[in-house]
Amino acid sequence: MSILLDQALKSEVLMKADPIILTRMADAPQRPVRWVHSSEVLDIAPLLRGGELLLSGGQALGAESAERRADYIRELAARGIAALALETGPALPAIPADMLEAAETAGLPVIELRRVVPFVAVMQEINSLLVSESVKHLQRGDQASHAMAAELAHGGGLDQLLTVLADRTGTGARLVSPSGVTLGASAGPAPGGVVTTVDVPVRGVLAARLELVVPDDGDSGLARVAGERSVDILGLALLQRMPPGLKELAGIELMRAINSGSQAWQLRQLGPASGFPTDGKVAAVVIRSTGAGHLRPAVDTVLREQVPHSASYANNAELIALAALPNGHSSRRALANALAAVDMPPGSVVSVGPLGSGIDDAPWSLAEARRALDLAAQESGPRNSGPGNSRSGNGGVVDAEAFAVELLAQESLDAATREVFVQRQLGAVVGHDRLKRSELLRTLTVWLDTGCNTAQAARELHLERQSMHHRLQRIFELCGGDPRGTGRLAALHLATRLARL
């Protein structure tokens, strides 16, 4: 459930703050607000889900640099929050122009609250309204689902089920296959308006998409909830109409078994039934995306083009797959490059697991791919899969093999041991960065990751070669000399990798 930003600003308690939208965005008042949250923490973005109206008193922002304020705006915009409302006062007399410029560039509405109001009261009033409306929508959504179940029990087909759903939600309803073929539609003319789409999987496979056309005066929140509540009923109806083949079912069960870490004998039974060889090189793929179900047809197409055998399975916001790689590492690199070219929703992340020697290694490759995604999220950006692999618009493909050292250390060394080792090897460098706000540790990390190639490291860091040499000289002074040609090189490289944890 959500309300429009304009409705939130016109709530009784927030009106007392005399709010005004400062950013020039025509659609700002129509932004949907899913929740109201308050925080003075500048690193709040990772804790937000999107759709929030964020309230802040501006105390922390008033003392920050223009660059940090711009980063704060960009981080919030990347999370998809509805708007940022800042209270001006002694700590922040006015919202800086650089923040507003960054907000307009990032597409984030910024609101000035020109009078002081208790944020707790704002959250209580608006969030209570949102919760109340959500409960009503859930109740009505369940009623629609029950009515559809009764219709299905009496022999109703897809058209009849969709007509029940349309009548209960005041929408036009249509069910289409992933390729766009209409499978069923509600009776009567479809109203014009906004289309709400809901995935309808059958046994983990995207079988259809439910399209609900919400008229201009309709309730899109109800349509979304009722559509999601009807997925199981529509899935049953589809299963009666077009049951999946045995090979497809075996592939789904194979991926479920791999996902649950089943024993090797189970995988060796399911593999041949799904057409997947039990021997030969394999690697798992993990895609985390809000559109995981939508992505499956495109990913399956890539798998068919790149490898002789594959299986996939969509579960919630994650799509997992297993690929047979007859040419080992070269096949794996080609697959990673092809996945990087797939058009995915913003925020999607992809990981290719390490090369396994057979289907027995599939659960391990899948687990390592997931761990690599978690580690990559701690860094500024995922590493490329290999030479020639470019990062795509969704952030690129994470190579689990490039995280082998971190994965091993995370599994075999406790946090205290890792911290002591990093401190002993790089304590002076870390201390210099903390005191001088420098980037010596990052410089050393990139230099070591490029095989001590100073020119390449300078390019990746966007530094002049002379500046790169000055940084390295300072690093060597802090670390006890140039490590090249000594046993200390491996220790320093390991320490920079452990520091990422």
pLDDT at residue number 3: 78
> Do both 269 and 376 map to the same domain?
yes
pLDDT at residue number 386: 39
Sign of the C-alpha dihedral computed for residues 355, 360, 362 and 365 taken in this order: negative
**pLDDT over 90 for what percent of the chain?**
42
CATH number, domain with residue 280 = 3.30.70.2730
Average of per-residue pLDDT across 190-196:
74
Average of per-residue pLDDT across 157-170:
91
Closest CA to 234 of 253, 215, 206: 206
Asked whether residue 262 is domain-assigned, the answer is: yes
What 3-state DSSP class applies to 318?
strand
Asked whether residue 480 is domain-assigned, the answer is: yes
What 3-state DSSP class applies to 33?
strand
Looking at residue 385, what DSSP letter applies?
S
Pull the structure tokens for residue 418: 């890792």
Lowest mean pLDDT among 191-205, 209-223, 302-316: 191-205
pLDDT at residue number 217: 75
Instruction: Single out the residue in 83, 117, 151 at which a domain terminates.
Output: 117
Asked whether residue 123 is domain-assigned, the answer is: no
pLDDT at residue number 244: 57
Does this model's pTM top 0.85? My answer is: no
> Do both 252 and 201 map to the same domain?
no
pLDDT at residue number 208: 86
Amino acid in the structure at residue 439: E
Asked whether residue 481 is domain-assigned, the answer is: yes
> Do both 94 and 29 map to the same domain?
yes
> Do both 192 and 266 map to the same domain?
no
How many structural domains are present in the chain? 4
> Do both 400 and 255 map to the same domain?
yes
Asked whether residue 437 is domain-assigned, the answer is: yes
Amino acid in the structure at residue 165: L
Q: Residue 496 above 80 pLDDT?
A: yes
Asked whether residue 127 is domain-assigned, the answer is: no
> Do both 236 and 335 map to the same domain?
no
Residue 279: count other Cβ atoms within 10 Å of its Cβ: 12
pLDDT at residue number 245: 61
Closest CA to 206 of 285, 319, 305: 319
Residue 83 host element (H or E): strand 83-87
Comparing 365 with 7, the larger pLDDT belongs to 365
> Do both 329 and 382 map to the same domain?
yes
Instruction: Single out the residue in 225, 241, 257 at which a domain terminates.
Output: 241
> Do both 213 and 305 map to the same domain?
no
- Cα–Cα distance, 277 to 352 (Å, whole number): 19
pLDDT at residue number 286: 95
> Do both 71 and 203 map to the same domain?
no
Q: Kindly report the average pLDDT of the chain as a whole number.
A: 86
Parent domain of 204 = 133-241
Q: Residue 325 above 70 pLDDT?
A: yes
> Do both 314 and 405 map to the same domain?
yes
Asked whether residue 126 is domain-assigned, the answer is: no
Q: Residue 72 above 50 pLDDT?
A: yes
Instruction: Single out the residue in 241, 262, 292 at which a domain terminates.
Output: 241
Lowest mean pLDDT among 322-331, 365-374, 386-395: 386-395
Q: Residue 315 above 80 pLDDT?
A: no
445-491 pLDDT, tens digit each: 999 999 999 999 999 999 998 999 999 999 999 998 999 988 889 99
> Do both 395 and 433 map to the same domain?
no
Asked whether residue 128 is domain-assigned, the answer is: no
What 3-state DSSP class applies to 146?
helix
> Do both 137 and 41 map to the same domain?
no
Q: Residue 363 above 90 pLDDT?
A: yes
Q: Decide: 193 and 214 in contact? Cβ < 8 Å.
A: yes
Average of per-residue pLDDT across 44-59:
89
